[in-house]
A and B are shown apart, each in its own frame.
Chain A
Amino acid sequence: MNAPARLTPLHDQHLAAGARMVNFAGWDMPVNYGSQIAEHHAVRRRAGMFDVSHMLALDLTGTDATPFLRQLLANDVARLRQPGKALYSCMLNKNGGVIDDLIVYRLADDDYRLVVNAGTADKDLAWMRSRIAAAGANVTLQGRRDLAMIAVQGPQARELFGTALPQLREATMVLAPFVGTRVGEAFIGRTGYTGEDGLELALPAAEAATAWQALAAAGIAPCGLGARDTLRLEAGMNLYGQDMDESVSPLDAGLAWTVDLRDESRDFVGREALARNPATKRLLGLVLEAPGVLRAHMPVHTDAGAGETSSGSFSPTLEKAIAFARLPLDVEPGDRVSVDVRGKLLPARVVKLPFVRNGEALI
Chain B
Amino acid sequence: MSNLPDNLKYAASHEWVRSETDGTLTVGITDHAQEALGDVVFLELPEVGRKVAAGESCAVIESVKAASDIYAPVSGEVVANNSAAVDAPESVNADAYATWLFKLRPDAPAQLDALLDAAGYSASIAE
Q: Which residues of A contact B (CB under 8 A)?
A: 20, 31-32, 35-37, 226, 230, 291-293, 295, 313-314, 316, 342
Q: Interface size (B, Cβ < 8 Å)?
A: 13
By Cβ-Cβ distance, the 5 closest A-B pairs, closest first, are A314-B41, A293-B62, A37-B39, A314-B64, A36-B39
**Beta-carbon contact of B65 and A226 below 8 Å:** yes
Give the complex CA separation of A20 and B34 in angstroms.
13
- Is the CB of B84 closer than 8 A to any CB of chain A? no
In the complex, what's the smallest C-beta–C-beta distance from A24 to chain B, in angstroms?
Answer: 13
**Beta-carbon contact of A293 and B39 below 8 Å:** no
Q: How many A-B residue pairs have CB under 8 A?
A: 38
Please name all residues of chain A whose beta carbon is closer than 8 Å to the beta carbon of B62 when the two chains form the complex: 292-293, 314
Nearest chain-B residue to A292 (Cβ)? B42
Give the complex CA separation of A186 and B60 in angstroms.
47
Give the complex CA separation of A20 and B63 in angstroms.
15
19 contacts between A and B (CB under 8 A): A20-B38, A31-B38, A31-B65, A35-B93, A36-B39, A37-B39, A292-B42, A292-B44, A292-B62, A293-B42, A293-B64, A293-B67, A295-B66, A295-B67, A313-B64, A314-B41, A314-B64, A342-B60, A342-B67
In the complex, what's the smallest C-beta–C-beta distance from B118 to chain A, in angstroms?
Answer: 23
**Beta-carbon contact of A36 and B60 below 8 Å:** no
**Beta-carbon contact of A314 and B38 below 8 Å:** no
**Beta-carbon contact of A36 and B67 below 8 Å:** no
Nearest chain-B residue to A230 (Cβ)? B64
Give the complex CA separation of A295 and B66 in angstroms.
8
Give the complex CA separation of A246 and B110 in angstroms.
55
**Beta-carbon contact of B42 and A36 below 8 Å:** no
In the complex, what's the smallest C-beta–C-beta distance from B78 to chain A, in angstroms?
Answer: 19
Give the complex CA separation of A314 and B67 in angstroms.
11
**Beta-carbon contact of B64 and A226 below 8 Å:** yes
Please name all residues of chain A whose beta carbon is closer than 8 Å to the beta carbon of B66 when the two chains form the complex: 295
